[in-house]
Amino acid sequence: MSLSITFSKSVEDAKKNNQPIVALESTIITHGMPYPANKETAMQVEATVRENGAVPATIAVINGELRIGLTDATIDELAQADNVMKLSRADFAFAIAHQRTGSTTVAATMIGAHLAGISVFATGGIGGVHKGAENSFDISADLHEFAKTPVHVVSAGAKAILDIPKTLEVLETLGVPVVTLGQSRLPAFWSRDSGIDSPLHLPHVEDIAAFIQSRNALSMTGGVLIGNPVPEDAEIPKAIMDVTIAKAIAECEQAGISGKEVTPWLLGRIVELTDGQSLHTNKRLILNNAAVAAQLAVALIT
Ligand code: PSU
Ligand code: MN
């Protein structure tokens, strides 16, 4: 059996003409944000990639078909659909074999992007080591994907629903570089400062491109995690978010949520607890990441 990959017209043209392309995930649409904010954000993210000189390729599996680049109509369907699988490395091939529809997490989007020859990807936040992982063993497959798959991901750092020091330890063990753009502290998603130094930091997008090119020259496997702080005017201070997050995590445990449901459940509850303020910040940081990813894709080609 051979895999058929369906490219959108604009991504196919971009590939032919060797133009910069930015991969985008779809789990954020199906499991990361409520409707219609999810659809609006997905459209704005694509527009931001274009404004910054690259072509967007949102990735998903639709009825068993790996799609690289979605139409607006498909994005709208995903944004409103229930029962979409949340795909990671473990079940990506299952969805393809059994004609299922699934959105791609960071791990699955990296796999799809690499198959499509795309090396830059923008998201909001990655999965990582959850708080309490010493009991739950909840560590996202996203981390292991960085060790394997050469796709470089621009994110706003790790969300404080995660244990950030443990997440950094696992990334270090796996040999995954974490480089923050423009500041020495690792950002913490809704907040610019996690209180923890980023293992690496560089002032400009072009410097990150040079780092990636140096890794390529050394035949290094795997991807680089790029931390991009949320714009100042959109940030929610960490002290405020920490209280909300602690409440959401306690409720999540009490409700007996486990496995794949944990991250979507927490994200949804945090939107409710902040009266939508976290959602506004989430949108802004994704757009900011889309812009940087497009600039990085341009810098890697020129
Ligand atoms: N973090 C966010 N928003 C998201 C996710 C993470 O701020 O939408 C999604 C991403 O798709 C990520 C996935 O890859 O959750 C991680 O899920 P898990 O923790 O179950 O591995
Ligand atoms: Mn998990």
Closest listed ligand to the CA of 126: 1
Across the range 155-180, mean pLDDT stands at: 95
- pLDDT the model gives residue 101: 98
| Average pLDDT over the chain, rounded to an integer | 96
The domains of the chain are located at 5-301
Which pTM does this prediction carry?
Answer: 0.97
Matching residue, tokens 């198959």: 115
Q: Give just the sign of the alpha carbon dihedral 234, 235, 240, 245.
A: positive
Q: Binning pLDDT at 50, 70 and 90, where does residue 159 land?
A: confident
- CATH class of the domain comprising 5-301: alpha beta
Q: Binning pLDDT at 50, 70 and 90, where does residue 161 land?
A: confident
Question: Does the C-beta of 27 come closer than 6 Å to ligand 1?
Answer: yes
Smallest CA-to-CA distance from 44 within 75, 85, 15 is with 75
Question: Does the C-beta of 32 come closer than 6 Å to ligand 1?
Answer: yes
Closest listed ligand to the CA of 109: 1
Q: Among the listed ranges 11-15, 241-245, 286-290, which one has the minimum average pLDDT value?
A: 241-245
Distance 11 CA to ligand 1 centre (A): 25
38 has pLDDT over 90: yes
Matching residue, tokens 């991504």: 11
Which structure tokens are listed for 88? 């990671």
Question: Does the C-beta of 140 come closer than 6 Å to ligand 1?
Answer: yes
16 CB-near residues (< 8 Å, 6+ apart): none
Which residue among 26, 123, 260, 289 is best mutated to probe the pocket of ligand 1, counting the most ligand atoms within 8 A of its Cβ? 123
Distance CA 214, CA 89 (A): 27
- pLDDT the model gives residue 2: 74
How confident is the model over 237-271, as pLDDT tens digits? 989 999 999 999 999 999 999 999 999 999 999 99
Distance CA 286, CA 264 (A): 17
Distance 164 CA to ligand 2 centre (A): 15
Cross-strand bridge partners of residue 121: 23, 153
Across the range 148-167, mean pLDDT stands at: 94
Distance 251 CA to ligand 1 centre (A): 19
> In this structure, what DSSP letter does residue 24 have?
E
